[in-house]
Amino acid sequence: MIGIERISFYTPAYAIDMRALAKARGVDPAKYCVGIGQDTMAVAPIDEDVVSMAANAAQQCLEGLDKTTVDTVIFATETGVDQSKAAGVYVHSLLGLPGSCQVYEMKQACCGGSLALHAALDRVARRPEKQVLVIAADVARYGLGTAGEPTQGAGAVAFVVSAQPRIIEIFPQTGYFTQDVMDFWRPNYMEEALVDGKFSVRMYLRALESCWHAYAADGGLPIQDLDRFCYHQPFTTMAYKAHRRLFTVADVEVPDVDVLAPSLRYNRLIGNTYGASLFISLCSLLEQTPVDMAGEHVGLFGYGSGCVGTFYAGRVIRNYRAHLKREEHECLLANRCLLSISEYEAAFRRRLPIDGSMQVLEESCGGPFHLEGIENHKRIYGRRRREAGANLGVA
């Protein structure tokens, strides 16, 4: 039995209210809150990037674990900070992981987190005594005033994959789908993603359909045996579209989509976190479902534009609730500072120097780690003097 032993996520201490954004853009707030399905959207301050967010998520995830048992760190991101150096190497250093650990980066848009999970499962299958730390972190950026703007967000998730899963066992049967399409992409020279929005929604659903057939062909569970579902959530109403499509494709009457509500709660507050989104949804499902889900089967769908999809499933482990970080996650979300739209726009426009000059960043609020500054084109990370909840100022 191999699966997830512990899991935790992190999102910056700043957010905007979607109603305020709608008002500023001259849009009916119901479009963002009902049509797209977002209440608030995380905003990363200048001193938070995928490395600091990942270190904050991973530190909480590893609490109480003997770090010398971590053999591999796989970091999935499409918002990497360097073309050569894996972002996980910085995290390895910030967390004081052993030098004998291997670290690498994985990329395929939002599917990176699921692909990293599968690589970790394979590693543990070969070496059952090892523990693999999987991290997925991203900042979703589309540009001010664009159609994609209400589907931004920022966050990181970290989980340990081992042969002693205390939260969810992941079954080996998997359905994949790959097709070379340009539905969403970000050239190396651009800070914001380019997207063909409506086409990306259609590709997501087409990938889900193909993944379901591939999953069934791989000996996966019949749909009637799946009790819960978690979908990649670029925005939460996408999960409803996916759920309806999945049951239609499986030729089974579409059940009440309200069953998805617990898996959407955190994502409604954070927004898209690309590679982390599916696993933040999994945290939400496990932590916000009022009944004990032990023994239940969960179907998971990861989609990464470009595109690669994957459908797989797992079984929730007995006593899983004792190993969740529900209180920490609720506290993180409850203590965020809501920015005005002009503060958000100012934070969005800020850039680090790209000429090698030195800049020491003022410290925002957030988890223990942040980006202290940049010098000679080198990013310098360290510990914050103050942490989330303390005197939240402007990003």
Residue in 23, 24, 35, 192 binding ligand HMG, rule: CB under 6 A: 35
146-152 long-range contacts, Cβ below 8 Å, gap at least 24? 146/192, 147/197, 148/193, 148/195, 148/197, 149/21, 149/25, 150/18, 150/21, 150/22, 150/32, 150/36, 150/38, 150/41, 150/235, 151/36, 151/38, 151/234, 151/235, 151/271, 151/272, 152/41, 152/271, 152/272
Nearer to ligand HMG, 150 or 367 (CB): 150
Rule CB under 6 A: say whether 191 interacts with ligand HMG: no
Residue 10 or 303: the one with the smaller Cβ distance to ligand HMG is 303
Which residue of the set 110, 111, 230, 307 is catalytic?
110
**Contact region with ligand HMG (CB under 6 A), list: 52-60, 191-199, 286-294, 311-319:** 191-199
Contact between 10 and ligand HMG by CB under 6 A: the answer reads: no
Q: Are strands 369-375 and 359-360 parallel, antiparallel or unpaired?
A: antiparallel
* Residue from 16, 5, 57, 39 nearest 261 by CA: 39
* CB closer to ligand HMG out of 303 and 312: 303
Window contacting ligand HMG (CB under 6 A); options: 53-61, 86-94, 217-225, 233-241 = 233-241
Residue 197 sits in the site that holds ligand HMG (CB under 6 A): yes
What 8-state DSSP symbol labels residue 108?
B
Token digits of residue 273:
């976190």
Helical (H) or strand (E) element with 371: strand 369-375
Which residue in 61, 101, 149, 232 is the catalytic one? 232
Q: Which of 1, 30, 190, 252 touches ligand HMG (CB under 6 A)?
A: 30
Pick from 5, 47, 49, 78: which binds ligand HMG (CB under 6 A)? 78
Which of these ranges, 32-40, 53-61, 154-162, 166-174, lies near ligand HMG under the rule CB under 6 A? 32-40
Count of CB atoms within 10 A of residue 51's CB? 29
Distance CA 373, CA 138 (A): 19
Return the residue nearest ligand HMG (CB atom). 35
Size of the site for ligand HMG (CB under 6 A): 29
Q: Report d(CA 192, CA 208) in Å as an integer.
A: 26
* Annotated catalytic residue 192: no
Query: Judging by DSSP bridges, how do beta strands 70-76 and 102-106 pair with one another?
Result: parallel
Residues between 111 and 150 that touch ligand HMG (CB under 6 A): 147-148, 150
User: Does residue number 204 form part of the binding site for ligand HMG (CB under 6 A)?
Assistant: yes
Q: Which of 113, 121, 175 is nearest to 309 (CA)?
A: 175
Query: Is 110 one of the annotated active-site residues of the chain?
Result: yes
- Which residues face 16 on adjacent strands? 41
Contact string (CB under 6 A) for ligand HMG, positions 291-330, x = contact: ------------xxx-------------------------
Cis link prior to 337 (omega < 30° from 0)?
Answer: no
Comparing CA positions, the residue from 377, 382, 345 lying closest to residue 367 is: 382
Tokens encoding 313: 């499933």
For ligand HMG, which residue of 75, 90, 177, 184 counts as binding (CB under 6 A)? 184
Q: Is 387 among the catalytic positions?
A: no
Catalytic entry in 5, 48, 78, 149: 78
Q: Are 254 and 244 a contacting pair, CB within 8 Å? A: yes
For position 152 contacting ligand HMG by CB under 6 A, the verdict is no
**If residue 348 lies in a helix (H) or strand (E), which one and from where to where?**
helix 341-349
CB 236 within 8 A of CB 38: yes
Q: Is 231 in the site for ligand HMG (CB under 6 A)?
A: no
By CB under 6 A, residue 234 contacts ligand HMG:
yes
Stretch that binds ligand HMG, among 6-14, 34-42, 209-217, 340-348 (CB under 6 A): 34-42
Which residue numbers are catalytic? 78, 110, 232
Q: Which residues of this protein are in contact with ligand HMG, per CB under 6 A?
A: 28, 30-31, 34-36, 78, 109-110, 147-148, 150-151, 184, 195, 197-198, 200-201, 204, 232, 234-235, 238, 272, 274, 303-305
